[in-house]
């Protein structure tokens, strides 16, 4: 999510995020540029034939690698499709030979009995029965449970955040200095109801068309207005999560800013609470016991008016409420009456998502990014082991384990540093009295351990067998030349990069791993960018701002982006395939692109790779800078009315399903 900041007014959310303040972090050991160059030149996994050039490019300034970028020689490609042309317009586009259909849109009925979408007269109660806003993570879970069906399942969808100027008539871009003029209790209620998650039953018919069933009893909305969620793990019941509404500190109403997520091996979904700080307003004294904690997480962010109408989002009234957000939340979509669970042992962060795997010895491992400039990559290793016969009871594995944070060393190794109370600096001398304190203040504990500050860690996905993990680092324009490290080697990193971590002998529980950079994203034709791609990458195949990713059933990596625009790349966000092996390693190839202003989220394949679900988030958010779109994009005059192209309908964040014409696995011959 690229979002706005309380100080930023009249900006798109993406623009405002760039202006937002970084929170304090401990970056005490900063290598010199010379250290970084040496580390880069010493890396053993550099791309073939371009080692020195790439390393210099990585430092920012040298020309891009090779001269045959336009040769398009992609013999041996793992991906069999004809590349789409990058660009921008009001519509979405998919590679030739494929069809992309809208499956469900903001406002469509979800819960049986939901009213039809009435965009000019929305109510909170109606929205709470309808599909929410800004779909992000998508999880496909086959029906029946435990099966492998690729034509019948449940789709679990995160609704990350809301865009008032595109959702509501008459508001314009919100001016936070004017205290959210025009927002009302009802509109705040609509916004809250448009957050959370949706679960819908989906089916593919004999002719290959996907539909969702609005009458399904599986269908469910989870929202921060009403859904009770249990706190579990070491933080449950701790005084620091107790509030006037919940003196026991065990039950939270709702989940917010659910960005990406992950599937568990036992058929549930983990949904990630990301920018929770943005929902809090108010003030609290510097001598508050939560001052250090809230400051490190940027609380209160003041992005929304919720605190004016809901006391718990006013941090001056409920100092502990922010501690009840920022967790990984487990949802069982097969039981629409189940209570979601916040798994506190997995740490508190601006969680982007989670990539889960069962290790060879049965321990469950989850890799997670904390998406903020200069924050960290984590992994959680369960103490217990997966029991295939235990079903959803395996969820308790996520309450008991060790949380580690990554330190990327210049010699190409990663050390995973345990966040365990009483070990190393995580003691009373540094303000921790229990493991609960370590978990509530995960970031501060990681600072003290000397974790490597990253360029906004987003989605992380795990190859299920070969020990390889792919981490998306979306960008960090605040990184300065005196602040580089080997894993984040570019100053003013506007393009982002992708890191590959390799677990030796495919032991995902290991405390030391190896790493390399797969690509340094950005325009390979602009030397000042310092991009690093395989020479086979075409003019359409490069991108900036990798955000989400998926590994398909054939073990191939796909990347989606958040941040391509007119200024930075001259193309919209989209879905790119990404080679990870052989001579083409580091080659991108464009498969699908979104309408103007949108971001690409949620890539999720069916188990047989014949369908790809993607989430088109915030269509028409900005786009003003593109030739032909030169106006402020608001409800009355959006930069696109995708997907309906109906003058009575605003643009609508939507889930799209992509299939191959005539059937068959995507990008396969």
Beta strand spans in 165-268 (E): 196-204, 210-212, 220-222, 228-232, 251-253, 258-263
Is 18 a binder of ligand FEO (CB under 6 A)? no
Q: How far apart are CA 643 and CA 90, in angstroms?
A: 9
Question: Footprint of ligand FEO on residues 392-451 (CB under 6 A)?
Answer: none
Is 458 a binder of ligand FEO (CB under 6 A)? yes
Q: Could you say which of ligand FEO, Ca ion, none residue 274 binds, taking C-beta under 5 to 8 angstroms by partner kind? A: ligand FEO
Piece in contact with Ca ion (CB under 5 A), picked from 82-90, 315-323, 376-384, 453-461: 453-461
3-class SS of residue 409: coil
455 or 458: whose CB is closer to ligand FEO? 458
Q: Could you say which of ligand FEO, Ca ion, none residue 552 binds, taking C-beta under 5 to 8 angstroms by partner kind? A: none
Q: What is the largest CA-CA distance in the chain?
A: 66
472 or 536: whose CB is closer to ligand FEO? 472
Asked if 10 contacts 173 with a C-beta cutoff of 8 angstroms, the reply is yes
Piece in contact with Ca ion (CB under 5 A), picked from 84-92, 236-244, 545-553, 638-646: 545-553
Q: Count of CB atoms within 10 A of residue 288's CB?
A: 15
Sign of CA dihedral 299, 301, 306, 307: positive
Is 5 a binder of ligand FEO (CB under 6 A)? no
Is 83 a binder of ligand FEO (CB under 6 A)? no
Single residue of 128, 164, 371, 552 touching ligand FEO by CB under 6 A: 371
Is 565 a binder of Ca ion (CB under 5 A)? no
10 Å CB burial of residue 34 (0-12, 13-18, 19+) is exposed
Is 138 a binder of ligand FEO (CB under 6 A)? no
- Reduced 3-state DSSP string for 555-605: CCEEEEECCCCCCCCCCCCEEEEECCCHHHCCCEEEEEECCCCCEEEEEEE
Question: Smallest Cα–Cα separation from 137: which of 469, 659, 522, 562?
Answer: 562
Min. distance of Cβ 378 from ligand FEO in angstroms? Answer: 14
Q: How far apart are CA 452 and CA 374, in angstroms?
A: 8
Is 201 a binder of ligand FEO (CB under 6 A)? no
Min. distance of Cβ 465 from ligand FEO in angstroms? Answer: 27
449 or 472: whose CB is closer to ligand FEO? 472
Piece in contact with Ca ion (CB under 5 A), picked from 36-44, 172-180, 512-520, 542-550: 542-550
Q: How far apart are CA 563 and CA 492, in angstroms?
A: 15
150 or 259: whose CB is closer to Ca ion? 259
Phi-psi region of 377 (alpha: psi -120 to 50; beta: other; left: phi over 0): beta
Is 375 a binder of Ca ion (CB under 5 A)? no
What's the chain's length in residues?
Answer: 669
Is 1 a binder of ligand FEO (CB under 6 A)? yes
Is 358 a binder of Ca ion (CB under 5 A)? no
Single residue of 318, 321, 547, 565 touching Ca ion by CB under 5 A: 547
Min. distance of Cβ 492 from ligand FEO in angstroms? Answer: 19
- Helix axes 51-59 and 33-42, enclosed angle (nearest 10): 150
Question: Smallest Cα–Cα separation from 507: which of 468, 451, 458?
Answer: 468
Q: How far is CA 501 from the centre of its chain?
A: 18
Size of the site for ligand FEO (CB under 6 A): 8
Q: How far apart are CA 160 and CA 173, in angstroms?
A: 19
Question: Footprint of Ca ion on residues 458-477 (CB under 5 A)?
Answer: 458
Is 544 a binder of ligand FEO (CB under 6 A)? no
Min. distance of Cβ 545 from Ca ion in angstroms? Answer: 8
Binding mask 230-269 for Ca ion (x = CB under 5 A): -----------------------------x----------
Is 514 a binder of ligand FEO (CB under 6 A)? no
Q: How far apart are CA 281 and CA 315, in angstroms?
A: 6
Q: Could you say which of Ca ion, ligand FEO, none residue 399 binds, taking C-beta under 5 to 8 angstroms by partner kind? A: none
Instruction: Retrieve residue 152's tokens.
Output: 């019948």
Piece in contact with Ca ion (CB under 5 A), picked from 166-174, 486-494, 547-555, 649-657: 547-555
Q: Count of CB atoms within 10 A of residue 66's CB?
A: 18
Min. distance of Cβ 160 from ligand FEO in angstroms? Answer: 6
Q: Work out the end-to-end distance of the chain between its first and last CA atoms, rounded to an integer number of angstroms.
A: 35
Peptide bond into 41 cis (omega under 30): no
117 or 613: whose CB is closer to ligand FEO? 613
Size of the site for Ca ion (CB under 5 A): 5
Residues with Cβ < 8 Å from 355, sequence gap 6 or more? Answer: 262, 366, 367, 368, 459, 460, 461, 462, 469
Binding mask 345-364 for ligand FEO (x = CB under 6 A): -------x------------
Asked if 250 contacts 229 with a C-beta cutoff of 8 angstroms, the reply is no
Min. distance of Cβ 159 from Ca ion in angstroms? Answer: 13
259 or 345: whose CB is closer to Ca ion? 259
14 or 531: whose CB is closer to ligand FEO? 14
Residues with Cβ < 8 Å from 344, sequence gap 6 or more? Answer: 231, 232, 233, 234, 235, 236, 327, 399, 436, 439
Backbone angles phi, psi at 371, to 5 degrees: -80, 85
Is 263 a binder of ligand FEO (CB under 6 A)? no
Min. distance of Cβ 457 from ligand FEO in angstroms? Answer: 8
Q: Could you say which of Ca ion, ligand FEO, none residue 160 binds, taking C-beta under 5 to 8 angstroms by partner kind? A: ligand FEO
Asked if 463 contacts 555 with a C-beta cutoff of 8 angstroms, the reply is yes
**Helix residue ranges per DSSP H, 376-493:** 435-440, 442-449
Partner residues linked to 342 by β-bridges: 231, 329
Min. distance of Cβ 260 from Ca ion in angstroms? Answer: 5
Piece in contact with Ca ion (CB under 5 A), picked from 299-307, 487-495, 554-562, 635-643: 554-562
Is 562 a binder of Ca ion (CB under 5 A)? yes
Q: How far apart are CA 603 and CA 477, in angstroms?
A: 26
3-class SS of residue 42: helix
Closest residue to ligand FEO using C-beta atoms: 1
Min. distance of Cβ 561 from Ca ion in angstroms? Answer: 9
Is 1 a binder of Ca ion (CB under 5 A)? yes
Single residue of 110, 126, 259, 319 touching ligand FEO by CB under 6 A: 259
3-class SS of residue 260: strand
Q: Could you say which of Ca ion, ligand FEO, none residue 573 binds, taking C-beta under 5 to 8 angstroms by partner kind? A: none
Is 273 a binder of Ca ion (CB under 5 A)? no
128 or 352: whose CB is closer to ligand FEO? 352
Q: Could you say which of Ca ion, ligand FEO, none residue 441 binds, taking C-beta under 5 to 8 angstroms by partner kind? A: none
Is 160 a binder of ligand FEO (CB under 6 A)? yes
Residues with Cβ < 8 Å from 389, sequence gap 6 or more? Answer: none
Q: Which residues form the interface with Ca ion (CB under 5 A)?
A: 1, 259, 458, 547, 562
Q: Which residues bind ligand FEO (CB under 6 A)?
A: 1, 160, 259, 274, 352, 371, 458, 547
């Amino acid at each position: 999510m690229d979002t706005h900041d309380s100080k930023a007014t009249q900006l798109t959310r993406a623009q405002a995020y760039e202006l937002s303040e970084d929170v304090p972090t401990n970056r005490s050991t900063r290598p010199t540029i010379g250290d970084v160059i040496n580390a880069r030149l010493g890396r053993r996994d550099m791309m073939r034939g371009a080692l020195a050039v790439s390393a210099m490019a990585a430092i920012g300034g040298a020309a891009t690698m090779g001269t045959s970028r336009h040769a398009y020689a992609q013999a041996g490609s793992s991906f069999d499709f004809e590349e789409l042309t990058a660009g921008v317009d009001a519509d979405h586009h998919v590679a030739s030979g494929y069809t992309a259909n809208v499956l469900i849109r903001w406002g469509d009925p979800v819960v049986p009995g939901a009213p039809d979408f009435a965009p000019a007269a929305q109510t909170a109660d109606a929205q709470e029965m309808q599909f929410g806003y800004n779909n992000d993570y998508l999880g496909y879970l086959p029906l029946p449970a435990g099966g492998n069906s690729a034509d019948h399942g449940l789709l679990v969808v995160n609704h990350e955040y809301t865009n008032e100027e595109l959702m509501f008539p008459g508001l314009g871009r919100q001016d936070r200095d004017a205290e959210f003029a025009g927002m009302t209790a009802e509109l705040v209620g609509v916004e809250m109801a448009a957050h959370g998650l949706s679960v819908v039953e989906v089916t593919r018919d004999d002719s290959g068309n996907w539909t969702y069933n609005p009458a399904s009893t599986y269908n469910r909305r989870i929202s921060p207005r009403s859904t009770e969620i249990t706190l579990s793990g070491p933080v449950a019941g701790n005084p620091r999560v107790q509030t006037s509404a919940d003196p026991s500190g065990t039950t939270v109403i709702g989940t917010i800013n659910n960005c990406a997520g992950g599937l568990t091996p036992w058929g549930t979904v983990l949904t990630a609470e990301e920018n929770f700080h943005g929902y809090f307003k108010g003030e609290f004294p510097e001598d508050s016991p939560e001052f250090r904690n809230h400051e490190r997480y940027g609380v209160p962010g003041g992005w929304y008016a919720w605190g004016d109408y809901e006391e718990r989002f006013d941090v001056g009234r409920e100092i502990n409420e922010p501690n009840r957000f920022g967790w990984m939340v487990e949802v069982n979509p097969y039981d629409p009456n189940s209570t979601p669970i916040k798994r506190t042992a997995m740490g508190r962060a601006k969680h982007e998502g989670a990539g889960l795997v069962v290790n060879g010895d049965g321990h469950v491992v989850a890799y997670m990014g904390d998406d903020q400039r200069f924050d960290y990559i984590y992994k959680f290793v369960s103490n217990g082991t997966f029991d295939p016969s235990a079903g959803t009871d395996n969820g308790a594995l996520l309450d008991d384990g060790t949380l580690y944070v990554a330190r990327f060393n210049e010699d190409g190794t990663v050390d995973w540093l345990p966040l365990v109370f009483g070990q190393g600096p995580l003691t009373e001398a540094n303000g921790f009295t229990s493991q609960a304190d370590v978990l509530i203040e995960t970031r501060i504990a990681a600072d003290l351990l000397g974790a490597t500050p990253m360029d906004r860690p987003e989605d992380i996905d795990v190859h299920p067998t070969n020990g390889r993990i792919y981490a998306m680092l979306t960008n960090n324009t605040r990184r300065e030349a005196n602040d580089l490290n080997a894993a984040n080697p570019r100053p003013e990193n506007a393009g982002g990069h992708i890191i590959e971590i390799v677990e030796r002998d495919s032991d995902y529980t290991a405390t030391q791993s190896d790493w390399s950079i797969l690509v340094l994203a950005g325009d390979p034709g602009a030397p000042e960018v310092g991009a690093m791609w395989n020479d086979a990458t075409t003019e359409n195949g490069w991108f900036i701002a990798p955000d989400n990713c998926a590994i398909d059933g054939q073990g191939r990596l796909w990347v989606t982006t958040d941040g391509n625009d007119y200024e930075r790349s001259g193309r919209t966000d989209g879905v790119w395939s990404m080679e990870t092996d052989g001579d083409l390693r580091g080659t991108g190839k464009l498969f699908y692109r979104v309408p103007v202003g949108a971001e690409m989220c949620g890539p999720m394949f069916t188990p047989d790779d014949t369908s790809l679900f993607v989430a088109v988030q915030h269509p028409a958010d900005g786009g003003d800078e593109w030739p032909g779109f030169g106006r402020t994009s608001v409800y009355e005059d959006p930069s696109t009315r995708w997907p309906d192209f109906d003058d009575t309908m605003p643009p609508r964040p939507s889930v799209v399903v992509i299939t191959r014409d005539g059937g068959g696995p995507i990008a396969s011959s």
